[in-house]
Amino acid sequence: MSSPTVIVVTAIIGLLAILLVFVGRSYLGSSSQLKSANPSFVITGPANAGSTSLFSYLTSGRVPIDTATSQVGNEERDFKLPMEVDTPYVFDLIEFPGQLKVRYEAMSYLKQHRKNIRGLVYVVDAASGAKGIALAAEYLLDILTETEKQAGGVDILVAANKSDVFNAISSKRLKEAMEAEIDRLRKSRSKGLLASHHDDTQDDEGANWIGEDIGEFKFDQLEGLVVFADGSIKSENIEKWRIWLDERAVNGL
């Protein structure tokens, strides 16, 4: 075999070897990540409701000064719960901001990993008015179409943020308003009048089976336990939310 031919063959073999190593690492990396994944808690909510601020506060212990709208998700793989014990358990804490382009990632994550989710914190601006609550209800309905497919559902905390603002409504009124809006959306979607924002991440079953078929929608009809609690990230008043996280961490064992 001539020298040029030997050089070419050697180069091709070298490239193939590099390619095989790269593919092998990628496969092993993704496989090991799935096998070693911790149970997770998810934080999300409508845009500007405070999900990113809550993630920052829980992971750093400080209220973030920068309030710029986040366009990317956040993840903490060493999130320890319960928070006030010497030997806590380790969880993944994952946050998806409420921007529409990021919601696709949130829905995809819920679809793929709902079996591994210990709880979901849904942050809502309690002072956002009727329009804001309607948007919050719509996104939550999309989430429920995924979480309710899991046996037993996924427990959800609706964190009524900014409850210290003068025009904020109570968590009780927020629950009633969101139930009414979800009931309206559910009926409209079942008639084909409204399309989901995430058709490519949901089955054709859609929202028809969320809650009971007869009567008005209520959160207590769901498989997962949905609770509402007031709080304020800016005022560092999230004790009710912390208690919920601690309880979910222990009760799911």
Residue type, 176: E
Q: What is the mean pLDDT of the chain?
A: 82
Q: Is the model's pLDDT at 179 over the cut of 60?
A: yes
Q: What is the pLDDT of residues 159-173, one digit of tens each?
A: 999 999 999 999 999
**CATH code for 38-251?**
3.40.50.300
Q: What is the pLDDT of residues 132-143, one digit of tens each?
A: 999 999 999 999
For residue 21 the two structure tokens come to 């190593």
For residue 179 the two structure tokens come to 């139930």
The residues spanned by each domain of the chain are: 1-36, 38-251
pTM of structure: 0.80
**What mean pLDDT comes out for the span 31-43?**
65
Residues 6 or more apart from 6 whose CB is under 8 A from it? none
Q: Is the model's pLDDT at 102 over the cut of 80?
A: yes
Interatomic CA distance for residues 41 and 35, integer angstroms: 17
First to last CA, the chain: 66
